[in-house]
Homo-oligomer: A and B are copies of this chain.
Amino acid sequence: MPWVKVLGGVVGAAALLGLGIILGHFAIPKGANQPASQELDLDPEILETVMGQLDANRIRENLRELSKEPHVASSPRDEALVQLLLQRWQDPDSGLDSAGTSEYEVLLSFPSQEQPNHVDVVGPSGDILFTCRRSEENLTKDQEAPDVLSPYAAYAPPGTPQGLLVYANQGSEEDFLYLYNEGINLQDTIALTRYGGVGRGAKAVNAAKYGVAGVLVYTDPGDINDGKSLPNETYPHSWGLPPSGVERGSYFEYFGDPLTPYLPANPSSFRLDSANASGFPPIPTQPIGFEDAKVLLCNLQGNSAPEDWQGALGCEYNLGPGFRPDGNFSADSQVNVSVHNRLVLRNSSNVLGIIRGAVEPDRYVIYGNHRDSWVHGAVDPSSGTSVLLEISRVLGTLLKKGTWRPRRSIVFASWGAEEFGLIGSTEFTEEFFSKLQERTVAYINVDISVFANATLRAQGTPPVQSVIFSAAKQIPAPGRSSLSIYDNWIQYFNRSSPVYGLVPSLGTLGAGSDYAPFIHFLGISSMDLAYTYDRLLPLPILSLPTLALFPQSKTSARIYPTYHTAFDTFDYVDKFVDPGFSSHQAVARTAGSVLLRLSDSLFLPLNVSDYSETLHSFLQAAQQNLGTLLEQQSISLGPLVTAVEKFDEAATALGQHISALQKGTPDPLQVRMLNDQLMLLERTFLNSRAFPDERYYSHVLWAPRTGSVATFPGLSNACSRAMNTTSGSAAWAEVQRQLSILVAALEGAAATLRPVAEL
């Protein structure tokens, strides 16, 4: 669109907006007789309207359409959904101001159709004694859809290793070390591992270090089905994972397009040779269902596996190597893992839709979810996309009617190729790095919107806590209308805050969905919202009534059972995950309310002083667990203590300043300047040189922590590496460097929060 037209549009919209104000659609800012549009603030009436219009049945209908067919990244159906989203966002009555697509050429990994992957037990003479299923059982007709992708481990290299089978628990470093210490020769074996514990790709990385030739991965019914494993106990009879179900997934270690790190994957972009790309599993790997895993595992010989390695397949799990002579296979039978995955360059699209802000169009609130699934992806990701479409419909309708326009711009995003490693979102952040860093107020991610019906689950950086709380307090919890989402939530996840007392506890952001590039690479305050289980953990209150209402919510499953399988279908959601879609609606309302508050509030509802709690907790952990160690090396935590104190002071003072201003009628630029301080705080924690070995991670508070102490990740990791080295080692120097990086970041953060004309 040429800019002159856009300008015209803005002016037109502003005129319309003026009319809106006169018609009383907008709250009159306190103390102003003639509200200027520049003082546009959150309108509780609009908020209520939106909450009222977010419709459970429409979400259900969205989901039915979105999950009708498998739509793995770059497939024809994925492209069809691109068009569906475009059409919705370009709808004259309920669309956005503009919408478009942006396409990247990215490296994906698919199983070969001509040479299907297979896993067999092979007798000593080469005869095949047993073959694992190549696809899931057709239980509800959905599984026979033509585009159901056979189970595979994306990015696992092709190869046909064959060897004695060993059982390696979850495939962690400790697991393989245990086998090694047990005297088991792992060279050229095939390791059978369970999902869980460590990342998918890590199982093969750890295995390869011990000479293992191939890896199998399965989901134990003890980990996913609360122990249930029989066909009549599982889907379609319950929400349990059927015996043939296989979790697909990306085994790529990093995120973003593997061939274009730090560069947008445009057709002309420089690409690594795929042989030089890093982060792929080193050895062939294949996932299988627990029905097949049972045949393999229950026939293993060798010592019995430790108790916490045992599962619910109904037999004693032995370590191997090889099968026991009294089982189904002869003792010298081997397992052959034939993987024929292929790396292919494919076009994958993001769909972006924008509502121009009326007052600050250059401030973006981004709300996104991925579009691509592994199979039908009803829960993952379409439960999120259905909510996204319903929110955009309600806001689009208000927009087209002229009832409302947000203060700031809202960007809706449907990311491509998330399942392969957050590719669409990462390429987007690479392409618009500067602009997004300069202008983005916050990123809201709703991927799987409903895992289960027990409670809200929110992850995010501290500044978003307050806005989520505000939203959650005003929305009734699904099915339990006497409680707000907040009051329900606090019963499931809570913590004692030194500032607020008992509050719902926010999780931290790893790299599980598209928020990762926004928080770790761009330093944008981010969050991820969903409704989820009642975890089978000792909880003080209210477990029983919850269980009665939502039986499937009470679970110890590591994730919802049909995750990444051909059983994650509309029928599954409709019958078992969220019958009535009230949890979907609850998430739509929560996310919608958070979105509106961020886009419309005169003062950004980001409470930066909530970072103080994190800093203090990290600092305390460092003092308690690393203090003595550091002292022995003459490394002082004093500068860190001082930096945290400076942050506290600056954040508190800024908060008080904002409170004082909110009582008066601050001028638009005063508000803008304060909001810029709030927006940019998260950016001050970035240091692109802090973690040279970690791709994209540059947030000094949220980078991956491998060290055992729950403190600042750079410090924790450096200490755990230095611990067994001598004084004066490079590892101890790195501890000091990490401390300095941290102190500089916190001092910089405090400087950003202090009055702007102080240096």
| Interface residues, chain A, with chain B CB atoms under 8 Å away | 1-4, 6-7, 10, 38, 97-98, 100, 260, 262-264, 266, 268-270, 352, 354, 356-357, 359-362, 409, 411, 430-435, 438-439, 636, 638-639, 653, 657, 667-669, 672-673, 676-677, 680, 683-684, 686, 688-689, 733, 736-737, 739-741, 743-744, 747-749, 751-752, 754-759
Contact partners of A667 in chain B: CB under 8 A: 38, 668
A669-B668, A673-B361, A680-B434 given as contacts; is B7 within 8 A of A100 (CB)? no
Partner of A360, one of B263, B361, B669: B669
Contact partners of A759 in chain B: CB under 8 A: 100, 352, 354, 411, 432
Cβ of A431 and Cβ of B757 under 8 Å apart? no
A268 to B6, CA, bound (A): 52
Cβ of B360 and Cβ of A740 under 8 Å apart? no
Contact partners of A270 in chain B: CB under 8 A: 733, 736-737, 739-740
Q: Considering only CB atoms, which chain B residue lies closest to A661 in the complex?
A: B7
Cβ of A431 and Cβ of B744 under 8 Å apart? yes
In the A-B complex, the 3 residue pairs with the closest CB atoms:
A362-B756, A356-B757, A270-B740
A38 to B430, CA, bound (A): 36
A257 to B759, CA, bound (A): 21
Cβ of A361 and Cβ of B3 under 8 Å apart? no
Cβ of A743 and Cβ of B268 under 8 Å apart? yes
Contact partners of A748 in chain B: CB under 8 A: 431-435
A268-B639, A362-B673 given as contacts; is B431 within 8 A of A756 (CB)? no
Contact partners of A673 in chain B: CB under 8 A: 360-362
Cβ of A669 and Cβ of B741 under 8 Å apart? no
A100 to B263, CA, bound (A): 42
- 17 further contact pairs, Cβ within 8 A, besides A359-B669, A438-B676: A3-B754, A3-B755, A6-B755, A7-B755, A38-B669, A98-B758, A268-B740, A269-B740, A269-B743, A357-B757, A361-B755, A411-B759, A432-B748, A434-B749, A435-B748, A438-B683, A688-B688
Cβ of A741 and Cβ of B435 under 8 Å apart? no
Contact partners of A359 in chain B: CB under 8 A: 669
**Closest CB of chain B to A523's CB: distance in Å?**
9
Contact partners of A269 in chain B: CB under 8 A: 740, 743-744
Q: List 6 A-B contacts (CB under 8 A).
A: A98-B758, A264-B744, A269-B740, A269-B743, A434-B749, A667-B668
Contact partners of A747 in chain B: CB under 8 A: 264, 431
A7-B657, A270-B733, A739-B270 given as contacts; is B688 within 8 A of A432 (CB)? no
**Closest CB of chain B to A107's CB: distance in Å?**
15
A73 to B263, CA, bound (A): 42
Partner of A434, one of B360, B669, B684, B737: B684
Q: Considering only CB atoms, which chain B residue lies closest to A362 in the complex?
A: B756
Contact partners of A411 in chain B: CB under 8 A: 759
Partner of A3, one of B638, B657, B676, B680: B657
Partner of A354, one of B638, B672, B754, B757: B757
Contact partners of A639 in chain B: CB under 8 A: 266, 268
A744 to B429, CA, bound (A): 12
A757 to B496, CA, bound (A): 41
A754 to B743, CA, bound (A): 37
Cβ of B434 and Cβ of A752 under 8 Å apart? yes
A636 to B680, CA, bound (A): 38
A3-B657, A739-B270 given as contacts; is B744 within 8 A of A362 (CB)? no
A439 to B653, CA, bound (A): 20
**Closest CB of chain B to A638's CB: distance in Å?**
7
**Closest CB of chain B to A369's CB: distance in Å?**
17
Q: Which of A97, A269, A638, A757 has the most CB of B within 10 A?
A: A757
A38 to B263, CA, bound (A): 40
**Closest CB of chain B to A6's CB: distance in Å?**
5
Contact partners of A737 in chain B: CB under 8 A: 263, 270
Contact partners of A754 in chain B: CB under 8 A: 3
Contact partners of A680 in chain B: CB under 8 A: 434, 438
Contact partners of A263 in chain B: CB under 8 A: 737, 740-741, 744
Cβ of B264 and Cβ of A6 under 8 Å apart? no
Cβ of A757 and Cβ of B669 under 8 Å apart? no
Q: Which of A98, A359, A438, A759 has the most CB of B within 10 A?
A: A759
Contact partners of A264 in chain B: CB under 8 A: 744, 747
A268-B638, A673-B360 given as contacts; is B757 within 8 A of A683 (CB)? no
**Closest CB of chain B to A95's CB: distance in Å?**
15
Q: Considering only CB atoms, which chain B residue lies closest to A3 in the complex?
A: B755
Q: Considering only CB atoms, which chain B residue lies closest to A267 in the complex?
A: B639
A748 to B439, CA, bound (A): 13
